[in-house]
Structure 1
Amino acid sequence: MNTTTLGLAAGIALGFAAAFGGFYAFVLVLLFGAIGLLVGRILGGQLDVSALIADQRNRR
């Protein structure tokens, strides 16, 4: 299991823990899943956010 899959699973698990039914629960689980996926990709080195962070620092 790679870090992307682990991050996605963690996000979905957090979503299920936070919500228990209805449309809003679906949206919340989807949101947590997407956040987990992004964190997993960052930790796995598949998504580089250093350019975004450096760009924000240069604008200030």
Structure 2
Amino acid sequence: MSMPVVGLLAGMALGFAGYFGGFGAFVLVAALGAIGFIVGKFVDGDLEAGEFFRTRTGDRDGRRR
């Protein structure tokens, strides 16, 4: 399925949630969609958990001394 079709389906789902369920349902569907997207990235192997939990080294601007 192409990305424009996926975007169209996601937009339609959010539109229906907002129309029939109000703003709270819109936010809930958007949050669950984002969680599903991240889980899908993990399953595909495009994302690793270590990318979220790396420690920062060096100064605040990212340079090591």
> Scaled by the length of structure 2, what TM-score is found?
0.48
For structure 1, the residue ranges without an aligned partner over 5 or more in a row are 56-60
- In the alignment, the residues of structure 2 paired with residue 51 and residue 23 of structure 1 have an alpha-carbon distance, to the nearest angstrom, of 32
Matched residue pairs, number? 41
* Larger helix percent: 1
* 2:21 aligned residue: 21
- In the alignment, the residues of structure 2 paired with residue 21 and residue 28 of structure 1 have an alpha-carbon distance, to the nearest angstrom, of 10
* 1:49 aligned residue: 49
For structure 2, the residue ranges without an aligned partner over 5 or more in a row are 56-65
Tell me the CA shift for residue 54 of structure 1: 8.2
The list of structure 1 runs, each at least 4 consecutive aligned residues, that deviate by more than 2 angstroms after superposition, is: 50-55
- In the alignment, the residues of structure 2 paired with residue 32 and residue 54 of structure 1 have an alpha-carbon distance, to the nearest angstrom, of 25
- In the alignment, the residues of structure 1 paired with residue 34 and residue 44 of structure 2 have an alpha-carbon distance, to the nearest angstrom, of 15
Bigger Cα Rg: 2
Q: CA RMSD in A?
A: 2.8
Higher relative CO (CA 8 A, sep ≥ 6), structure 1 or 2? 1
Tell me the CA shift for residue 40 of structure 1: 0.2
Percent identity over the alignment is 46
- In the alignment, the residues of structure 2 paired with residue 30 and residue 40 of structure 1 have an alpha-carbon distance, to the nearest angstrom, of 15
- In the alignment, the residues of structure 1 paired with residue 52 and residue 30 of structure 2 have an alpha-carbon distance, to the nearest angstrom, of 24
Tell me the CA shift for residue 50 of structure 1: 3.8
